[in-house]
Amino acid sequence: MLEGLEKDWSPPTTQTERDYPGLAPGKYTFKVIAAGANGIWSPQPATFTFITINPPWYRSAWFYVLCAVTTIIGIYFYIRIRERALIREKKILEDKVVERTAEVVKQKEELEEQKHVIEEKNKDITDSINYAEKIQRAILPDTEKIKKALPESFILFQPRDIVSGDFFWYAEVDGSKELGVGSSEIIQNTLPAPQLRTPNSELPTPHSKLILLAAADCTGHGVPGAFMSMINTSLLNEAVNEKRIFQPNEILNQVRRGIIHSLKQKGESGEQKDGMDVGIISLEMNNRTCNLQYAGANNSLYIIRKSDAPVLEEIDPDPMPVSISDRTGDFTNNVIELQKGDTFYIFTDGYADQFGGPKGKKFKYAQFKQLLLSIQNKSMDEQKQILDMTMQEWKGALEQIDDILVIGVRV
């Protein structure tokens, strides 16, 4: 038995030697007992103690210490190298950040400069448009004069932009003066009456006053529309003041000729057909009746008679604009007799075409008609407020898509 390796005695054998290869480092004692020929075993084993077997160098304590020290030094130098690399990368990143920051600051300064330039240009443009709006407002009729001539009336005018492509137009003709009783003049513009009148002029009767009123929608919005509104206003004034035309359809015929001439329209393919859609009326007041004449270019006339159960009458316009178009016939003149308390409306398409409501759809003309019928028991000022409030609620947060113009008159 080899004490230190084996715990029990090995089986009896006749061999006189024992091999223990690959002994691990350590101290061993070899014990042996023997039996004689008589089979009696010796009472005490013979022992032999080996010299301690030393481990290999790579398993020695000094090697472990050396490895530990080497590992610690290696870790230290790795950390130091890594720190230097991180410091170097940090420096590179800082340089890049400084470079990028400088670029951003430069770009910001350039943007600020561009923004300043844009703001200045925008201010100049806005100032110009605001000034154009003042000019356009000055060209529009005096609403107080209209209110004085037509006490039971309103004008709901809401441009989409600062300046508008929609406009209203108004003129008064004194019948007695126009027919030679006293000095001749058109009250709106106070111009002397010429001696000659066009054959198609509709003259007011003596001792009556003729009122001309129009709601027009020019081609385009904003500045282009405003330019067209000024041209059309000038042509309407020219037709009445210079040409002495007072019949609504003949006024539109004359204005159409003026637009075609002014804009050099030839009807060629691809040519812009700028002009206007308009409803124009002439109103000649008597004691209890009122003679109304109407002509329309794509814009209808609504009449609601005074009644306990009011009904809306729609006078259809001619389906063509006041400009060059596929249709070149004369506009139709409609003559309607109104009684005291009757109400009529002329308007552009902005109110009915506005998107809004819970589904974001157009207001539409059917709903517009029902709204007008529902407010017939209200005064004209109250009607304007209701129309305005209804549109604001209908539009909600949506943008206004077109200029809005509604004119209502109760005779």
DSSP 288-324: SEEEEEEEEEB--EEEE-SSSS--EEEEPPBSS-SSS
Q: Which domain holds residue 206?
A: 142-410
Phi then psi for residue 211, to 5 deg, are -110, 130
Answer whether residue 16 shows pLDDT above 80: no
What pLDDT is stored for residue 193 in this prediction?
36
pTM of the model: 0.69
pLDDT digits (tens, 9 = 90+) for 230-276: 999 999 999 999 999 999 999 999 999 999 998 888 877 766 788 99
Phi then psi for residue 321, to 5 deg, are -85, 170
Question: What whole-number distance in Å separates Cα of residue 246 and Cα of residue 242?
Answer: 11
Q: pLDDT band at 5, cuts 50/70/90?
A: confident
What pLDDT is stored for residue 184 in this prediction?
33
Q: What's the mean pLDDT in 393-409?
A: 95
Question: What whole-number distance in Å separates Cα of residue 110 and Cα of residue 92?
Answer: 27
Q: How many domains does the chain have?
A: 1
What pLDDT is stored for residue 176 in this prediction?
52
Q: What is the mean pLDDT of the chain?
A: 86
The angle formed by the CA atoms of residues 346, 351 and 353, to the nearest 5 degrees, is: 120
- Residue 7 domain-assigned (yes or no): no
pLDDT digits (tens, 9 = 90+) for 278-301: 999 999 977 677 899 999 999 999
What pLDDT is stored for residue 55 in this prediction?
73
pLDDT digits (tens, 9 = 90+) for 182-221: 323 344 433 333 333 333 455 555 556 899 999 999 987 7
Instruction: Give me the CATH number covering residue 195.
Output: 3.60.40.10
Percent of the chain whose predicted confidence (pLDDT) is above 90: 55
Torsion angle (degrees, nearest 10) of CA 355, 361, 367, 369: 50
pLDDT digits (tens, 9 = 90+) for 371-390: 999 999 999 999 999 999 99
- Residue 43 domain-assigned (yes or no): no
- Residue 89 domain-assigned (yes or no): no
Q: What's the mean pLDDT in 111-133?
A: 86
- Residue 111 domain-assigned (yes or no): no
Phi then psi for residue 66, to 5 deg, are -60, -45
Q: Residues 360, 297: contact at Cβ < 8 Å?
A: no
- Residue 395 domain-assigned (yes or no): yes
- Residue 41 domain-assigned (yes or no): no
- Residue 76 domain-assigned (yes or no): no
What pLDDT is stored for residue 80 in this prediction?
92
Least confident of 144-148, 180-184, 354-358, 401-405: 180-184
- Residue 288 domain-assigned (yes or no): yes
Q: Bigger pLDDT: 92 or 127? A: 92
